[in-house]
């Protein structure tokens, strides 16, 4: 079922609250001060059963200029506006300011309601109607119905209700499939129930028992109960005004302006990139770092405007801006906002949020502006691609991508798959546990890796390559998990960029080539080890007779790297054949005798105790054997 919110707008004392009471039979002014002063101060809420059977929520906003903040907290979620103008006064200052706000928020449907018509004659009424038509030219209310009513005599209400019903039929259905979001406009406690928040669900749906998060504090809680128009419900949907009972949170933990949403899908930010329109009737331009009041959803936040593509924003002009806020905002891409001057408080601008998690930049480049234009265009595939490009070094999963997108995207997996299929992005891991990087990110890293390996091979011509872990930290960073890193190396090897072995990576064409003198060194080292077997020589003794100790060290390390020499500890290195032979000797000895001691090992290896213990301790470390008191048994 389609859910509709109707809101009022207009100057103080033009009869908005009285109109709603006449339509619904219910009073929306509930505060003692409101009743004693005869003006609305806070938002009022009720509902209206239309002839079609639809039940519409109604928000009554205050008209006094001092309470514009409260008006903005309610008007941002409406579908249809009733612009209320008193027939005896006509268009007044707050009529104009409310109307500017409606245009900036891109409200598309509305009716003009001329109230108090019983106080004026027909000629005056016609003159007021002409003024209204002139004022509405070129706006969403041009050609809109103008209904003359009297809440006192009930004249004109039948036609008004009929047109309201007709307009609600034309309203586009809300996004009930997106993720749940509710900006909080009231929070209070009820004895026996605890903390309750109210607001209009602007996307998705919520059910009793759902886990939700309070933004920007990121407190997690559970939905204990839901009421829609004072009726208990199991589910609340986009377009409905709801009261939600939250578990295990205090009233002090929540403020008007907070957002209740699905867990983990939003990221509060103190900077947002926006498209801003400066109202043409203003008499001053918006200048860099101008302090303003920003209104978004039910929130008011102080911030400063930084024009991105111009020096200043003249009245009637649009610009890309970054708004730097004094506390975090929880927004999504395409959300609307209003800007009022800090002091005196006048509505001066408004627009659309393009990037809800902007990054501070001292220098705004042409590329940065072009990226904002892509995001503003709303082409989901381009936005998604750019988002993943920006997140590639973070190795983001789909949840992180969704946060960074800053908007509902229920077909996210489908769009990601398209980009993967087209070779634009790369998925690492399985579908239920994967990360995404952009193809250009991998190409850039491949170039860096190639350069790193070229320099490494030049300095280390006798090394098979760089240790994989060292290359990972230098090129891909510590955030990349080992499994994903192995996948990336496999991709680069398949593309013939690199060669990958168990321990090393090298350029695809790199081969170790020894000079004649290095070949001699290699043979000498091998012969020395063969002759001494399990009482092996020390490196320092081997190197002592060589003039070119740098070359000798490279040859020695090469034998270690390719596994011809096996280093057991700092004092004991064996030829591979002798090492494998030692394994066989130990296994056969234990199988025959049940265990082997250090003294027995010394005898069978024909060596001293130091080397015998080194061999046994190494076999313990690789879990071939294990120590039991003073002996070793098979592991």
pLDDT in tens, 367-387: 888 888 888 876 767 778 888
At residue 74 the predicted structure's pLDDT band, cuts being 50, 70 and 90, is: low
| pLDDT higher than 70, residue 553 | yes
pLDDT: which is higher, 403 or 550: 550
Could you tell me which residue, 595 or 502, shows the higher pLDDT?
595
- What pLDDT does residue 36 have? 43
Q: How confident is the model at residue 14 (pLDDT cuts 50, 70, 90)?
A: confident
Name the pLDDT band for 34 (thresholds 50, 70, 90): very low
Q: Give residue 68's pLDDT.
A: 63
Q: Average per-residue pLDDT in the chain?
A: 88
Residue 56 pLDDT class (50, 70, 90 cuts): confident
- Contact between 182 and 221 under an 8 Å Cβ cutoff? The reply is no
CA dist 300 and 72 (Å) reads 9
Q: What's the pLDDT score for residue 556?
A: 94
Whole-angstrom CA distances from 369 to 303, 314, 366, 631 are 21, 19, 5, 73
> What pTM did the predictor assign?
0.70
Question: For position 292, what pLDDT does the model report?
Answer: 96
Q: What are phi and psi of 577, to 5 degrees?
A: -60, -40
Instruction: Give domain status of residue 409, yes or no.
Output: no
* pLDDT at residue 66 in the model: 55
For 409, residues 6+ apart whose C-beta sits below 8 A from its C-beta are 380, 384, 402, 415
Biggest distance spanned by C-alpha atoms of the chain:
125
Percent residues over pLDDT 90 in the chain: 60
Where among 139, 170, 201 does a domain terminate? 170
Q: What is the pLDDT of residue 73?
A: 66
Mean pLDDT of 591-601: 95
Q: pLDDT (tens digit, 9 = 90+) per residue, 347-372?
A: 999 999 998 988 887 677 888 888 88
Condensed to tens digits (0 to 9), the pLDDT of residues 148-206 reads: 998 888 889 899 999 999 998 888 877 777 789 999 988 999 988 899 999 989 888 99
Domain end point (choices 360, 389, 406): 360
pLDDT at 518 over 80: yes
Which residues contact residue 70 at a Cβ distance below 8 angstroms, ignoring those fewer than 6 apart? Answer: 41, 42, 43, 61, 62
Site of tokens 């589910």? 235
Please tell me the predicted confidence (pLDDT) of residue 386: 83
Provide the CATH number for the domain around residue 534: 1.10.10.10
Residue 446 lies in a domain: no
144 with 228, same domain? no
What's the CA gap between 206 and 194, in Å, rounded? 19
- Residue 247 in domain: yes
CA angle 271, 175, 136 (to 5 degrees): 75
Q: Are residues 210 and 349 in the same domain?
A: no
> Is there a single domain that holds both residue 125 and residue 18?
yes
One domain for residues 161 and 201: no
Q: Confidence class of residue 38 from pLDDT cuts 50, 70 and 90?
A: very low
CATH number for the domain spanning 222: value is: 2.40.30.10
- What is the arithmetic mean of pLDDT over 508-526? 93
Specify the pLDDT at position 293.
Answer: 95
Average pLDDT over residues 454-481: 93
In a domain, 380, yes or no: no
Query: Of all residues in the chain, what percent carry a pLDDT higher than 70?
Result: 94
What's the structural domain count of the chain?
4
Do 236 and 303 belong together in one domain? no
Who wins on pLDDT, 412 or 561?
Answer: 561
The enclosing domain of 150 has a CATH number of 3.40.50.300
Structure tokens at 396: 């983001």
Burial string for 301-312 (b: 16+ CB within 10 Å, else e) reads: bebbbbbbeeee
Looking at the predicted structure, is the pLDDT value of residue 421 above 80?
yes
Q: Is residue 11 part of a domain?
A: yes
pLDDT at 98 over 50: yes
CA 268 to chain centre: 8
Strands of the sheet containing 55-60, edge to edge, are 44-49, 55-60, 4-9, 80-86, 109-115, 146-148
Range of the domain at 617: 516-634
CB 271 within 8 A of CB 355: no
Does residue 568 lie in a domain region? yes
| pLDDT at residue 40, rounded to an integer | 42
Residues 525 and 619 in one domain: yes
| Structural domain includes residue 623 | yes
Distance, in Å, from the CA atom of 474 to the CA atom of 95, rounded to the nearest integer, reads 62
Rounded to 5 degrees, φ, ψ at 140 are -65, -15
Report strand pairing: 4-9 vs 55-60.
Answer: parallel
Distance CA 81, CA 111 (A): 6
**Domain end (from 207, 228, 262):** 262
Give 625's strand partners.
634
Confidence of residue 84 (pLDDT cuts 50, 70, 90): very high
pLDDT one-digit tens code per residue, 232-289: 999 999 888 899 999 999 999 999 899 999 888 888 999 999 999 999 989 999 999 9
d(CA 408, CA 412): 9
340 or 390, higher pLDDT? 340
Average pLDDT of the residues in 43-59: 83
**Is 236 in the same domain as 343?**
no
pLDDT in tens, 99-151: 888 888 888 899 999 999 989 899 999 999 999 999 999 999 999 999 999 88
Residues 287 and 231 in one domain: no
Does the residue 431 lie in any domain?
no
Query: What pLDDT, on a 0 to 100 scale, did the predictor assign at position 28?
Result: 60
Claim to verify: residue 9 and residue 153 sit in the same structural domain: yes
Q: Is the dihedral of CA 320, 323, 324, 330 positive or negative?
A: negative
Both 135 and 34 in one domain: the answer is: yes
Q: Tokens representing 405?
A: 């997108």
| Dist. CA 101–CA 473, nearest whole Å | 52
Judged by average pLDDT, the poorest of 2-6, 206-210, 434-438 is 2-6
């Amino acid at each position: 079922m389609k859910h509709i919110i109707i809101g009022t707008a207009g100057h103080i004392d033009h009869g908005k609250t009285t109109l709603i009471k006449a339509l619904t039979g219910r009073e929306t002014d509930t505060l003692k001060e409101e009743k004693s002063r005869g003006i609305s101060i806070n938002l009022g809420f009720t509902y209206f059963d239309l002839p079609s059977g639809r039940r519409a929520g109604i928000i009554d906003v205050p008209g006094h200029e001092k309470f514009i903040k409260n008006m903005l907290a309610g008007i941002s979620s409406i579908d249809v506006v009733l612009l209320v103008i008193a027939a005896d006064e006509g268009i007044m200052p707050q009529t104009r300011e409310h109307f500017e706000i409606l245009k900036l928020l891109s409200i598309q449907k509305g009716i003009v309601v001329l109230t108090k018509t019983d106080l004026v004659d027909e000629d005056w009424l016609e003159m007021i109607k002409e003024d209204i038509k002139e004022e509405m030219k070129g706006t969403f209310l041009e050609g809109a119905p103008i209904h003359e009513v009297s809440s006192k005599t009930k004249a004109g209400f039948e036609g008004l209700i009929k047109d309201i019903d007709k307009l609600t039929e034309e309203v586009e259905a809300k996004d009930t499939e997106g993720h749940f979001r509710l900006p909080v406009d009231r929070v209070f406690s009820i004895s026996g129930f605890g903390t309750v928040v109210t607001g209009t669900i602007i996307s998705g749906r919520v059910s009793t028992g759902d886990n939700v998060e309070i933004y920007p504090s990121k407190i997690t809680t559970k939905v204990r109960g839901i009421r829609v128009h004072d009726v208990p419900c199991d589910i609340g949907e986009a377009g409905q005004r709801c009261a939600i009972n939250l578990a295990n949170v205090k009233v002090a933990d929540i403020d008007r302006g907070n957002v209740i949403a699905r867990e983990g899908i939003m990221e509060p930010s103190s900077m947002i990139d926006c498209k801003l329109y400066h109202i043409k009737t203003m008499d001053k331009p918006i200048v860099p770092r101008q302090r303003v009041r920003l209104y978004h959803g039910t929130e008011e936040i102080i911030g400063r405007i930084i024009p991105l593509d111009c020096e200043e924003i003249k009245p009637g002009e649009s610009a890309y801006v970054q708004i730097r806020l004094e506390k975090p905002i929880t927004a999504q891409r395409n959300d609307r906002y209003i800007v009022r001057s800090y002091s005196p408080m006048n509505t001066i601008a408004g627009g659309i949020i393009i990037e809800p998690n902007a990054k501070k930049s001292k220098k705004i480049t042409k590329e940065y502006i072009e990226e904002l234009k892509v995001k503003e265009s709303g082409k989901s595939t381009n936005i998604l691609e750019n988002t993943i490009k920006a997140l590639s070094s973070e190795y983001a999963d789909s949840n992180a991508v969704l946060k960074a997108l800053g908007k509902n995207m229920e077909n996210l997996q489908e769009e990601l798959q398209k980009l993967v299929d087209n070779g634009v992005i790369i998925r690492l891991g399985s579908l239920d546990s994967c990360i995404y990087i952009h193809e250009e990110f991998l190409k850039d890293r491949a170039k860096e890796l190639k350069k790193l390996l070229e320099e490494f091979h030049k300095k280390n011509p006798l090394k098979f390559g760089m240790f994989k872990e060292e290359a990972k930290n230098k090129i891909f960073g510590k955030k990349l998990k080992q499994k994903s890193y192995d996948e990336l190396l496999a991709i680069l090897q398949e593309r013939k960029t690199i060669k990958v072995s168990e321990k090393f990576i090298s350029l695809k064409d790199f081969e170790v080539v020894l000079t004649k003198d290095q070949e001699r060194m290699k043979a000498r080292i091998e012969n020395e080890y063969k002759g001494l077997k399990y009482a092996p020589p020390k490196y320092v003794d081997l190197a002592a007779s060589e003039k070119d100790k740098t070359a000798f060290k490279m040859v020695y390390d090469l034998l270690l790297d390719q596994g011809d020499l096996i280093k057991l500890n700092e004092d004991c290195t064996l030829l591979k054949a002798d090492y494998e032979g030692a394994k066989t000797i130990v296994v056969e000895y234990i199988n025959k005798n049940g265990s082997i001691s250090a003294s027995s090992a010394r005898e069978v290896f024909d060596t001293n105790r130091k080397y015998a213990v080194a061999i046994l301790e190494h076999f313990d470390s690789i879990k071939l054997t294990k120590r039991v008191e003073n002996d070793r048994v098979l592991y």
